[in-house]
Structure formats: structure tokens, C-alpha cells
Structure 1
């Protein structure tokens, strides 16, 4: 099944189941913290995302796991129908707590209209100059239905003030733009702006944090399809240039490489930075003060970006023995290994965890997700990228797209986990 058709079908299935001073509200957390529980294997710890006081049951978490500068982990939970929430996991104490949800923050700012929804915080929670930012994606399908809805909202959590705010309450009409959704974010701290990639048109937006205003920048002139699949990861290099990808099955040659937006010259493309297949990038992580970055599409093709140059290279593909989607990607701090998870495997299993050697392009199977803990056996989607704490442990979210089971967040101490997984009889 093509990527666009898969996304539209998956969205339909899931839907059936289921500036400071504006819109600020104190965190509702603090009385219902959870410290989680041990998993079945050594080095595994799990938490369950709790319901919000206003009734949101978080059953999904799409690429919505990220880390702050101090090592705390932030996770977005959503129901793909009504509302989305942001949770904080203190890496030192292991305490998980709700910090706010879209509806409550917008209602506090008088910026929530009757019948309005915030289906997803699809964006990886973004650390930018002292705060965590997310934005709403209220429609997944690649069609013109987005024109019937308000535009997306920006939200930010300020850890110093313990406040979650609807930033768009101060913008014209109470939204970032008149129509549209956002699927991923990227930070340019030097210019104090945040970039966002839109759905379904693939437009790029820029949020000026100091002014509290969003600008619709547009998209590359070479795009020849009105609706495109926007890549789920973008990055900004040391020159302030934003890189991104998109895909459309009807125009493979148009989208088979990396595009960019330069604040001085505008949109452009790097045809000399090819993609192995016409598949937008899904996940990524930068190391060494963003001098080295690694990226993957959802088929496990892995690439490397080097800021010096800059340069682009293809490293290889995860050795998948069956059809599956890759939505979990965390690169070890030394840059030698990527820990990758699969979802929606063709055999119906909940997926597996792999170690991909970024130097030799070889794949090692660690274990099935069900081995980590029995509670993961019935969950078939495992997502998250670039979510490490200072102790060298990474985090991801798991859920079942066809049920109302709560999202489970897992922390892996990878050194301990690899040793424990090696003792599983089936792995010998």
C-alpha cells in the first residue's frame, strides 16, 4: 500500500475508534503523579498516561516523545478525536505528571470555539529557549477538508512558571494561520523562531517567539502536487538553514531528495542529497551540538547529515525480515548505534526492537516488544525519537490504534536491556 493511502486509511480507522500572558493556566498536575513500574526484563520501566480532569483518555501518541535540556522527558497523549495533552516525566525521580491539555489552556484564554477539537499533538515536544512547544494537528487526511476548520494552535509549557499556555490566543483570529495543521517542528534558537511543517499541503510556517506571530512561508515551487505527505522530522543547521522532506507517490522524481528554506534566499532543493525511495523522513536525531545528524524513513533507510560542508550520505537499511513500519528511532550518544523499533508488522505481532550499527550498517535483533513487558503484547504502534535522559536511557510510547487502551511510556536502560535480552532462549 502506498504511503499516502496508508496514512489516509490508518487515520480513518483510528478516528472511528475512538506570548506570555495569553491563555496561561497553572499545571493541573501534582496530586496524581505516578512513578511507574518495573518491566519484565532488567532495565525496563513503564508508565501509563492518565486521563485528564476534563475527560481526555490518551489512547495514542504519534511521534510525540522528546526531551528537555535538563533531561526531563515530555510526552504528548491524544485520542485522535477531541483533545490532546502534554505530560512531563522527571528523569531523576521517575514521576510522571500531566502539565496541561489543549482544550483547558484554550478555554482559559477564551480561545476554544463550540465544537472545536485538537485531535493530536503530533509534533515531537520541542525544547526551545527554556520552554517546551507543541502544536495541533486536527486532521490527518490529505484532502481539502482542512479548509472547513480553524487553523492550528501553538502551545508552550514553561517549567519555571509551571504554566501551559495557548500562545495563539494573541494571534489574529486566535489561530496561527487561517487553516492548516502541523506535523513537526524545528528550532532556530539564534533567531528565536520555530519552524513547522503543515498538513496537507506541505507548507512551511515560522513562529516568531518574541513577537508571538506566525508567518506562512509557503513551500518549494517545484512541488507539483497540491497535497503531499510532510516529513515528520526537520532540522536547522549552523547557518540557520531549515531542511525538510516530503513525498507524493504520483511524483517520485520531484520528491526524491532533501529540500531547504534559507532565511536569506528562500526555498531551494539539494538534488545531490538523494533519498533511496520517494519516502519522506520520519525520525531523526542530532549529536555533537548538531554537527552530526542521523535520519530514517519509515522503511528503515538511514541517512547521515554532517554540518561541516555540509554533506549528506546514505548509510544503509534496517534488515527487516517482514513488512513493518519504523516509527521508533534513538541514536546512542556516541553516534555508533541506532535503536530502532517496528510497528504494525505483517505477522500481526506487536513489533520488535533492533540495534543498527551506524558504522557497518548491520542489524541485530534485541527482542520483541512483548518480551519487555506483557502489557506491550497487545500494542502494535511504538513511536518516538531523540528522547534520551542524562543516564543514557531512552523513552518511547506504545499504543493500540484500534482500542481505547491507554498509552504506555517505556524507558529502556539499553545496556542492562541488551544483557537481559541476550538471555532470552528464543534469541539463541
Structure 2
């Protein structure tokens, strides 16, 4: 099997992976998301068995096992407790903390309006995203995977409906070629293919609208769009110390430690009405001043005197349908598989998602994890998978 990766940003300067904060957690409300996190945690723990290359230095993703800390007000306390019960049933180690216990463990927190908190005890924290990305790429290249800098802008399909009555919903097609537009070239390079995997992240939905794909075979449309998210970096010498987890506030604001010298990373997802223009990666610093900082300072009084250092923006591959990944075969394009739409938790689920797609391609079925509910069928049936843990 020959594998070609088409990457339009070979420097990864705009890649969601390297612009993320690199978190991994078990604290989700869907069994599939918990299971993928547990798979990925095991993968990272044994990363050199999976991605190590002979005669190359060992891989160190610089994992910081400081956990995630979710805070819930009274009206969401019962829901959080139910979610923790599910996480424990799936094998995750998560503690529930009362406001008193929370204050004892993290004295720097103001517990006003907090009814209960959940704290990950194992396999939660953050790591270096660039190191993981490089390790995946380096291992793939060592195994003979081909890579080219270019952009897929079109397809050539072969209809396979000769034996199907006209108008039947069962009409399908196969992708025979992809048209790859190369840098500094006026022509497309046609690439013959037996299997196509759409892992285009925030542009996965747009890619299915490319030239050559019959519109009637791409219905319903893939509901994935780029959503811009800011990450802010600040310094506070009197802020939380080494034991600081990745804290998700009752308001949705979050932060984590960045090293051990009083530096922190954090941000907050805007409301649907306040979504910024995703046309570029510019940063709205007023969003930090007006929305993020007041929430942080209320929860951590020491942050009242923080100093903003820098900021950047990256993309969520946002699934507008239910904010969960779409994984598996396309229902009408016989040789197309999807792996996108993870809405902010794609990096931590990448090892599990990659394994799942590999099993489908090579063996025709899931073996490690049963992820059928994340497939396209729920989009056709309008059945949302609700995930309470989208940050």
C-alpha cells in the first residue's frame, strides 16, 4: 500500500495542533470520548513503542500530569456528579471535591458559587503538541509514507449506480482521482487513489464541497466549520504554583500553568452570538480584557495583578451539529473515510482516531474501540450525541 499525505501548510504554522494548549483529559460525558482519551493516554505513555524510530533519540512529549479541574455551580452539580460516575465506570480515576476540600487542596481558589468540583487523578494534564506532531510525521516517513506540499481542490468520481434504479437513495460513487494543486503551479496534479481519508480539520466540510463531487451524494453536508479561538499568555509571580491543574471555571474560562516561573496560558470560547470572524488568525485583545480576565481574577484573586505577555489564535474544527468528531466511512462515497470535527479535543483523540481509521481501512471493522456512534449515520438521522465537556 502506498500512502500519500497532502499537506497545504508543511510548516504547520497555522495548524490547529501546534496552536493548541496540548491538553489531555478523561473527563468527558460520552463513553466514546472517555474511551478515546484512555486509549490516547496509554499511547502517549508508551509512545516510543509506537512512534520510536531505530537509531533516533527517544521521544519525550513533556507530559505534565497535573490533571483537569472542572468547577460546577449548584444548578450543574448533579450533572457533574453523574458524569463522574460514568467516567469511573469507564475506568477513569476522577475525584469529586466539595468546596471545603477544594479550598484545602488549592488554597488560591475563591470557591464562591462552586457547589462541587471534579479533579482528574491520572492520565490528565498537558504535553508538547509540536513534539507529538513531529513524532507522528517522522515515524510515518520512516515507514515509507509519501508527503507533498499542496492542496486538494478537486475530485474525479466514478458512479457505481449502474444496477440501481434511478432516484434510489442507494446511489453511490467512488473517488478515482484527487486533483492536487501544487505551489507555484498553474496546473493540477491528478493522483489516482483507492482510499481517500478526509482529515482536513477545520476545512473538512469545505473539502467535501470541492469540484467533482456530485452534490446529491454529499447530502446532508458535513457540518464542520473553522471557528477561531484565542490563547492568551500572561505572567503572575504570585499565581498558583506547581500543583496548578488545568482549571475550567463555572463561567467557561480556563487556564493552566506554563512552566514553573509564574507563566500561564488560558482563554475562553465565545458565545454563538460573539463568534469572531474566522477569515484570519488576528487576536482581539479586548476579549481578554473584557471577558476572560474578569472571570479569572474572580476565581483566582492573585490574577487581579497579572500581566499579559502575548496571544495567538488557532482553529477549532467545529462540528456545528453536536461538537463531536465524525469518524468512519462516508455513506455515499464508497472509498472515502472521515476523521474530523472534534471541536477542540482532536489533538488528544488523534492516536485513537488514527487507529480507528486504520482498522476500518485494513480490516473493515473497529477492533480497539467501538466508535460506530461517531459515524455519519447520526447526521442523516438528526440524532445528536450530546457532550457536556466541550471547553
Please give the TM-score of this superposition, normalised by the length of structure 2.
0.29
Could you say which structure has the larger radius of gyration? 2
Name whichever structure is richer in strand by fraction. 1
TM-score between the two structures when normalised by the length of structure 1: 0.27
Greater share of helix:
2
Higher relative contact order (CA 8 A, sep 6+): 2
